[in-house]
Amino acid sequence: MGCDYEDIESNYLTKDSVDYFLGGNVIYENNQFSKILFDGGYIDSYTEMESLPVRPIREFAATDGDYQTQLEEFVRAQKTKVLGFKFYNKDHLGNNREVIDQDGNICQKTDYYPFGTPYFSRYVTINEADQPFKYNGKEFDMMHGLNTYDYGARQYNPILPMWDRVDPLAEKYYNISPYAYCANNPVKYVDPDGKKIVLGSNCSPEFVNHYNVAIAYLKEHNAASVWHQLDGREEIITIYENAGFANYTSGNNVFWNPLSGLCTDAGGEGHRLSPAIRLLHELGHKLQEYTGDYNIEDDGTFWQSKEEKRNILEVETPAAVACGEIPENTISRDSHSGIPFKTESSISTKILNPEDPQVKMWRMCWE
């Protein structure tokens, strides 16, 4: 106040801009190319790309077609540029703990306090400002000292720790503060979109990890359409840990065993489905219940009901094909039956109980 500073324009009156194109997957900073985001990492440039104007990417964004096609066209257009891949190493909560380049070198390392504040230390962190996607994989906005995470629905302040506005679904859990993040237990719960608590109470840390791995697996293979549609709805679907081999739904709850796969047969072939596909099967029922003709009456066939037949053919089978668990031009099973087996992870089809009588009989028939 009352003073003039010669360096005020260069040091204080600066302006930064960030532009997002192709569904937010291509980022420009100050009209210069910055990075291309993909699930599990991003592509950036080794060299300055001053010759790449912002106009071409606007032209790509204006063309018809899906984001994947537009991204491929954009990358091909940069073939004269030096681009490099960076990959995230995540923990069980989806936090980006390390960024590794295509040669395996650690480019960034970040540790976190329980509610998500990055831990800055010259002895622990490496290049902490190199890229902003950190806790839960969300973008950390440090402009003007805000230091909040962008969850889409709201901004999250990890220092307080709380949302900066009322949860739009607060009436669904009015016994918890409408500003509370992850029911005040971020070590146990995750909140991927700033709207829902998706895992039930008393879930073990191992179960949370299995769930995150399963959803990442489905997303990686473009088999998570049902999950995305449910996640965008107002209803809250709660996933509970289930010790039994049979998965099922009850109301808005899904009970799932993350270590239970399923042996099936269809058209003279034997298949093994991972627990992730079995979870998607149950989610497929919930989506149909909200959006379509949900007919669960027993029709006296091997399918048991029209809903089971629809779900197996329209949800389970395409996902199993996309994930490489069954061959193309086949179906996951030709009835609603199957033999559960114990496996090592939520995305594995390896049988860990081969001496189980039913599993042993199935293997004698199909393997």
Q: Is the pTM of this model over 0.75?
A: no
pLDDT digits (tens, 9 = 90+) for 229-284: 887 777 778 888 988 888 888 888 899 999 999 999 987 889 999 999 999 999 99
Q: What proportion of the chain, given as a percentage, has pLDDT over 90?
A: 29
Q: What is the pLDDT of residue 127?
A: 80
Q: What is the pLDDT of residue 210?
A: 92
Q: What is the pLDDT of residue 166?
A: 79
Q: What is the pLDDT of residue 323?
A: 96
pLDDT digits (tens, 9 = 90+) for 273-324: 999 999 999 999 999 998 888 888 888 888 889 999 999 999 999 999 999 9
Q: What is the pLDDT of residue 234?
A: 73
Q: What is the pLDDT of residue 49?
A: 41
Q: What is the pLDDT of residue 243?
A: 84
What are the structural domain ranges in the chain? 88-197, 238-366
* Mean pLDDT, each 10-residue run in order, the chain (367 residues): 61 68 80 83 65 48 59 60 81 86 88 85 74 88 82 84 78 75 77 64 82 91 90 81 86 91 90 96 92 85 90 95 94 92 95 94 89
3-state SS of the chain? CCCCCCCHHHHCCCCCCEEEECCCCEEEECCEEEEEEECCEEEEECCCCCCCCCHHHHHHHHCCCCHHHHHHHHHHHCCCCCEEEEEEEECCCCCEEEEEECCCCEEEECEECCCCCEECCCCCCECCCCCCECHHHCEEECHHHCCEEECCCCEEECCCCEECCCCCCHHHHCCCCCCCCHHHCCCCCCCCCCCCCCECCCCCHHHHHHHHHHHHHHHHCCCCHHHHHHHCCCCCCEEEECCCCCCEEECCEEEECCCEEEEEEECCEEEEECHHHHHHHHHHHHHHHHHCCCCCCCCCCCCCCHHHHHHHHHHHHHHHHHCCCCCCCCCCCCCCCCEEEECCCCCCCCCCCCCCHHHHHHHHHHC
Q: What is the pLDDT of residue 278?
A: 96
